[in-house]
Amino acid sequence: MKVYLAAQTFSTSVADALEFPKNYSIPQFKDSEATINFIRKIDALFDILNSKSRYSKGNKAVLRCNTEQNWRPVMTSIIDYILRCTDIKNRPLWLTPRKTAVIGFCISPVSICGIYESPSFKTRQIHFSKKMSYIC
């Protein structure tokens, strides 16, 4: 999957573009609520996983201890939502032949939470070395 294409496709602007005709009762868009909801959730997940600037707000803010109460519930709810999504035959998407993207969207946040909860030895050692260099 080309991530930059997925990020452009699953963006708030695409969700807004689908919502606009729905709000004006255009018949072709009357059942687009589920698609809009899906796009907004995937966009939020992209924002959380791609956070880099410590000055950003909301889902684009860096994952920190003091913001964990903001990003962890969002990630958890998005994972639950993705795992509950079904295809037209009512099969869970993660059991269909095209399951790779679905599994990837679930594994990435779980991995980030795992790294956050128990960083590897090397990561802890680097932080310890940096802290000691400031003290000495």
Q: How far apart are CA 106 and CA 86, in angstroms?
A: 15
Q: Per-residue pLDDT for 125 more than 80?
A: no
- Both tokens of residue 124? 């802890």
Residues in a beta bridge with 86: 92
Q: What is the mean pLDDT of residues 53-59?
A: 81
Whether the predicted pLDDT of 50 surpasses 60:
yes
Q: Note the pLDDT of residue 38.
A: 92
Measured distance CA(61)–CA(54) in Å, rounded: 6
- pLDDT, greater one: 130 or 84: 84
Rounded CA Rg of the chain: 19
CB–CB of 36/15 below 8 Å? Answer: yes
The larger pLDDT score, comparing residue 124 to residue 89, is at: 89
CA dihedral 10, 74, 117, 119 (to 10 degrees): 20
pLDDT score recorded for residue 132: 44
At residue 40 the predicted structure's pLDDT band, cuts being 50, 70 and 90, is very high
Look at residue 52 and tell me whether its pLDDT is greater than 60. Answer: yes
Count of residues making up the chain: 136
| Mean pLDDT, residues 73-90 | 91
Whole-prediction pTM: 0.75
Three-state SS at 53: coil
- DSSP 8-state assignment for residue 54: T
